[in-house]
Amino acid sequence: MPLTPAQIPEFINAISAAINQHADEITELDQAIGDGDHLFNLQRGLEALQSHAAEIAALDWPAAWQKIGMTVMAAIGGASGSLYATLFIGLSKHGKDKPTDMRTFAEALQAAVAAVKQRGKADVGEKTMLDVWVPAAETLARAASSGKDLNAILDQVCAAADAGVESTRDMLATKGRASFLGERSKGHIDAGAKTAQLMIAAIARHIRQAA
């Protein structure tokens, strides 16, 4: 059952539900070592996507990713806004003229995550969303190319995302606002890493249910 952009509205709803369910936790995290707006930033982005969902659902994948990227770019702001815009525009660029199977998606995701690294001048180990997106994308690529079944792939990706979030707890932040706190940034997980993991988990859950 290949995924199509027609399912995008459901994914947006699934992600929104997950984010809203963890609203207080997200805000507490971004407040502890950031500036407390991460939840609202994502919510603004998700609302904008929801209001364009029907339009997006009618596009092909590259056009859909592009539209998603431009939508969040204009709606979110902050660090996460430009990073997610970069991620989705990256998916659009790298998914063009390719079949939309899991392997090509995994490749596109890795390329898009590389673009995010470049945009953020960051990499794993700096206490950011990249500590989730990088291992998740790598795990997806590895699992997809090894021909595992869908559920196993999803389980592995989710596990990588979970581990990624947890890894940020004791890190010294060297990127993002948390880095201003120096040593005081330790002991809290990163809000952007947490929401990346929530998104990945929500999508995985939705795919499993739909399957």
Partner 1 sequence: MKKFIDSPGTLLDTSLQGFAKAHADIVEVRTQPNFVLRKQRKTGKVALISGGGSGHEPLHAGFVGYGMLDAACPGQVFTSPTPDQMLEAAAAVDGGAGVLFIVKNYAGDVMNFEMAAEMLDGPSATVLVDDDVSLPKDHPIGRRGVAGTTIVEKILGAAAEQGYDLAACKALGERVVRATASMGVALTSCTVPALGHPTFELGADEIEIGVGIHGERGRETGKLLSASEIVGRIAGHIQQELNPPSGQAVLLHVNGFGATPLLELHLVYELAWQYWRERGLNIQRSLVGNFTTSLDMAGCSLTLSLLDDEMLGLWDAPVNTAALRWGC
Binding site for partner 1 (CB under 8 A): 27, 31, 34-37, 40-41, 44, 73-83, 85-86, 119-121, 126, 174-177, 179-182, 184
Q: Give the C-alpha separation, 205 to 154, whole Å.
A: 9
Q: Give the residue with the Cβ less far from ligand ADP, 31 or 100.
A: 31
Task: Tell me the per-residue interface mask from 72 to 91 with Mg ion, x by CB under 5 A, - otherwise.
Answer: ------x-------------
Judged by CB under 5 A, the residue of 10, 25, 28, 35 near Mg ion is: 35
If the CB atoms of residues 169 and 184 are measured against partner 1, the closer one turns out to be 184
Q: Closest approach of Cβ 76 to ligand ADP, in Å?
A: 7
CB of 175 to Mg ion, least distance (A): 13
Binding stretches for ligand ADP (CB under 6 A): 30, 34-35, 37-38, 41, 78-80, 83, 120-122, 128-130, 175-177, 190-193
